[in-house]
Amino acid sequence: MTETDKKLLAEAKRVREFAYCPYSNFAVGAAVLGASGEIYGGCNVENASYSVTNCAERTAIYNAISSGEEDILALAVVAESAQPVPPCGACRQVIAEMRIPHILMANLAGDVKEMTLSELLPDAFSGEDILS
């Protein structure tokens, strides 16, 4: 694991503390590394109308994009879970759309699993599918 990976995981763990999760009590933190070298964090934000809840991964990605990042090189996600926490299907699709090549999944016990985008979501649907 690289020093950058360690920084991403530390930021994901830090921002997890800000999660708003009164319904599930499942706090999740995520962090992404922009091509600029900046790290952007995000946490899950729940809503009583579950469909408008936003996951930590998407919050971090949207934070980076809205800050001007055009390329995201890596993503880390952390939660208190038995195994390293994987992104949900919606987040996997956003990760694929942004072509994030390096994904780190972790839990608070320090277990980490690394995956590539193609391992996380093989044969992903993309903009090319609708533009061709």
Task: Check if 57 is active-site.
Answer: yes
Contact call for residues 74 and 4 (beta carbons, < 8 A): yes
Q: What pLDDT was estimated at residue 131? A: 74
Domain of residue 24: give its range. Answer: 3-131
Q: What pLDDT was estimated at residue 128? A: 76
Q: What pLDDT was estimated at residue 123? A: 83
Q: What pLDDT was estimated at residue 132? A: 60
Residue 118, domain CATH: 3.40.140.10
Alpha helices in 17-131 (DSSP H): 56-66, 89-97, 117-120, 127-131
Reading the chain (132 residues) residue by residue, the pLDDT tens digits are 899 999 999 999 999 999 999 999 999 999 999 999 999 999 999 999 989 999 999 999 999 999 999 999 999 999 999 999 999 999 999 999 999 999 999 999 999 999 999 999 888 877 777 776
Q: Which of 17, 57, 97, 128 is catalytic?
A: 57
Could you give the 3-state DSSP secondary structure of residue 26? coil
Q: What's at 27, amino acid-wise?
A: A
Contact call for residues 44 and 80 (beta carbons, < 8 A): no
d(CA 123, CA 104): 20
- Number of structural domains (the chain) is 1
Burial of 108 (0-12, 13-18, 19+ CB in 10 A): middle
